[in-house]
């Protein structure tokens, strides 16, 4: 609902009155506001109610960062441990947003992981 004095968004109390949140206005009173409904009839908004239904959800946290390998590249990188030319790579933002991404690399053969800044 909106305050009839200043137009600020206001929330009605359970009794149907409005307490304006604008400290300069400070309107407190009835919300005698009528609008045209979908059927064309006048609807008194001071008698409307709202409700929320809280739903419970079950969350399961999966840490898959150890399994993330990325895109398989050939002949672009060399594993420093076994000299393999097939390496999984992906980009990750490890520092602040004004810094470039870090390329995370994992060897296909030996599983060795390293970073390229």
- Residue 36: its pLDDT value, please? 65
- Residue 114: its pLDDT value, please? 87
The residue among 46, 40, 43, 37 whose CA lies nearest residue 3 is 46
Which CATH code is given to the segment(s) 71-116?
A: 2.20.25.10
What are the extents of the domains in the chain?
Answer: 11-47, 71-116
**Concatenated DSSP letters of 16-51:** SEEE---TTT--EEE---EEE-TTS-EEEGGG----
Between CA 16 and CA 52 the distance in angstroms is 17
Tens of each residue's pLDDT in the chain, 117 residues: 777 778 788 877 777 788 888 888 888 877 665 666 667 777 665 566 666 777 787 777 655 555 657 788 888 888 888 888 888 888 888 888 888 888 888 888 888 888 888
pTM of the model: 0.41
- Residue 11: its pLDDT value, please? 78
Q: How far is CA 95 from CA 3, 14, 40, 69, 104, in A?
A: 46, 49, 57, 20, 13
- Residue 109: its pLDDT value, please? 86
Alpha carbon 85 to its chain centroid, in Å, reads: 39
- Residue 63: its pLDDT value, please? 58
DSSP 67: T
């Amino acid at each position: 609902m909106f305050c009839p004095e200043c137009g600020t968004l206001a929330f009605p109390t359970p009794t149907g009155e409005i307490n304006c949140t604008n400290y300069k206005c400070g309107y407190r009173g009835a919300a005698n506001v009528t609008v045209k409904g979908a059927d064309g009839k006048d609807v008194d908004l001071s008698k409307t109610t709202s409700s929320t239904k809280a739903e419970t959800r079950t969350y399961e946290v999966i840490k898959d960062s150890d399994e993330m390998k990325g895109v398989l590249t050939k002949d672009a990188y060399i594993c420093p441990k076994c000299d393999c030319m097939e390496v999984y790579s992906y980009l990750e933002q490890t520092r602040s947003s004004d810094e470039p991404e870090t390329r995370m690399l994992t060897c296909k053969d030996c599983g060795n992981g390293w970073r390229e800044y």
